Amino acid sequence: MGGEAALASKGATGTGCKLTDGQLMHLETALEQGAAAYGWSDQRWTAPRVATFR
């Protein structure tokens, strides 16, 4: 059903970034400082950890 045409890219989808400029600046600073600076036991930034920032 659909053949090769069904597999073709439809381009980027989604609503784009939902963060304000201020939120983006805060997130960038946090990422540069590392996860340990925010109480995590290591320096890994995971999606759930990043999601804790508001």
SS3 49: helix
Interval 3-48: pLDDT, tens: 888 888 877 777 788 889 999 999 999 999 999 999 999 999 999 9
Report the C-alpha gap between 35 and 41 in whole angstroms. 8
> Can you give the pLDDT at residue 54?
63
Residue 44 is inside which H or E element, if any?
A: none
The residue to which tokens 């995971």 are assigned: 46
Neighbours of 13 (CB within 10 A): 6
Report the C-alpha gap between 54 and 7 in whole angstroms. 37
Residue 1 has pLDDT above 80, yes or no: no
